[in-house]
Amino acid sequence: MAHADVAAVASATATAAASQPLAGRVAIVTGASRGIGRAIASHLSSLGASLVLGYASSTADAAALAASLPRAVAVRADVSDEAGVRSLFAAAETSFSNSGAGGGGPHIVVVNAGVLDDTYPTVATTKTEAFDRVVAVNLRGAFLCLREAANRVRRGGGGRIVAVTSSVVGSLPAGYAAYTATKAAVEALVRTMAKELKGTRITANCVAPGATATDMFFAGKSEEMVRRNVVSNPMERLGEPGDIAPVVGFLCTDAAEWVNGQVIRANGGYV
Ligand code: NAP
């Protein structure tokens, strides 16, 4: 090959690597059927990753997303159920063996699935069943995914764990106490794990969105409650799922190895 041709091939290879930094990597995203998780999954796919799309009940949405991405499978799995969580990891190990990603555990796990009590009760009026449900999905579910990730994400470089928590841990709004408590607990789990994973070159971080225009955000809110979120933000708007996905995407790349054990708030500056 002529010198100029070799240089052209090298340049094209470098360009492809820069635009597809997650090529050959397998990512699990929980809560990928809708909202922020859907945007994260699409973004990781655009960076070259193969995707396991976890969801609870939105089968049509998850299947449509899987069909629209080059390498993706949708897996129905309640994150509060141990067997369900294990099935997400089994799918990561078996679904993409012909895609260059090889067999073995996932490289990336994004713990995103969550629920919110959309009656916005005070602590005094929070029903025990409502508290238990938020804890079951947001805390027990995150714990089960994080524990599985700590054992099964690949070692030796490129291993990434990201939990989606919330900026309410900083702003402590009335009406969100149980939800906020679960997110604070997940931040403690993840920051501890970052230290426990010493020697694996796996990073563990949280991304904490502020008010983001999804089904969860609008559920149970009056126009006045929505407006208050807009006017109190320095950017004078709600966040969009597309504001959050690139932050998670960056944390999943090799370039982010030095960011470890951190909580990155992505909220337009409201807290
Ligand atoms: P969303 O639009 O309501 O979507 C929630 C996703 O989680 C859906 O894909 C849902 O699956 C899945 N899910 C719910 N319960 C599940 C379970 N038990 N097992 C497995 N999957 C389950 O919510 P979102 O606003 O995108 O929220 C995503 C994450 O961001 C959550 O952790 C949330 O706490 C956090 N967050 C959101 C905001 C906001 O303002 N929107 C702000 C800060 C943090 P199905 O579609 O199958 O139900």
Using one digit for the tens of pLDDT, what is the confidence trace for 230-240? 999 999 999 99
At 189, is the pLDDT very low, low, confident or very high (cuts 50, 70, 90)? very high
**Average pLDDT of 143-151?**
98
Q: 226: which 2 tokens?
A: 């929505």
Q: What is the DSSP letter of 212?
A: B
**Where on the phi/psi map is residue 220: left (φ > 0), alpha (ψ -120 to 50), or beta?**
left
Residue with the smallest CA separation from ligand 1 atom 33 is 114
How much distance in Å is there from the Cα of 164 to the middle of ligand 1? 9
The Cα 99–Cα 106 span in angstroms is: 13
- Whether the Cβ atoms of residue 69 and residue 51 lie closer than 8 Å to each other: yes
Residue 75 tokens read as 């897996």
What mean pLDDT comes out for the span 148-168? 98
**d(C-alpha 187, C-alpha 263), whole Å:** 7
Checking if the pLDDT of 13 tops 70, the result is no
Question: How far is the C-alpha of 47 from the C-alpha of 214, rounded, in Å?
Answer: 23
Our mutation pick for probing the ligand 1 site, out of 172, 176, 216, counting the most ligand atoms within 8 A of Cβ, is 216
**136 Cα nearest atom in ligand 1:** 18
Query: 154 - beta bridge partners?
Result: none
Cβ of 30 less than 6 Å from ligand 1? yes
CA of 48 to the centre of ligand 1 (A): 24
Q: Tell me the residue type at 62.
A: A
Residue nearest to atom 3 of ligand 1 (CA): 216
Average pLDDT over residues 46-66: 98
- 172 DSSP assignment: -
Say whether 20 sits in a helix, a strand or coil: coil
User: For the chain, how far is it from start to end, CA to CA, in angstroms?
Assistant: 57
CB-based contact 160:108 (threshold 8 Å): yes
> Is 80's C-beta closer than 6 angstroms to any atom of ligand 1?
yes
pLDDT reported for residue 17: 74
Q: Active site includes 120?
A: no
Domains in the chain (CATH in brackets) are 21-265 (3.40.50.720)
Condensed to tens digits (0 to 9), the pLDDT of residues 192-214 reads 999 999 999 999 999 999 999 99
Q: Given the DSSP bridges, would you call strands 26-29 and 160-164 parallel, antiparallel or unpaired?
A: unpaired
Nearest CA to ligand 1 atom 17: 78
Decide if pLDDT at 12 tops 60. Answer: no
Q: Ligand 1, residue 116: give the atom nearest the CA.
A: 34
Is the CB of 214 within 6 Å of ligand 1?
yes
Instruction: Please name the residues in contact with 193: beta carbons below 8 A apart, sequence gap of 6 or more.
Output: 146, 150, 161, 204
| 267 neighbors 208 (Cβ within 8 angstroms) | yes
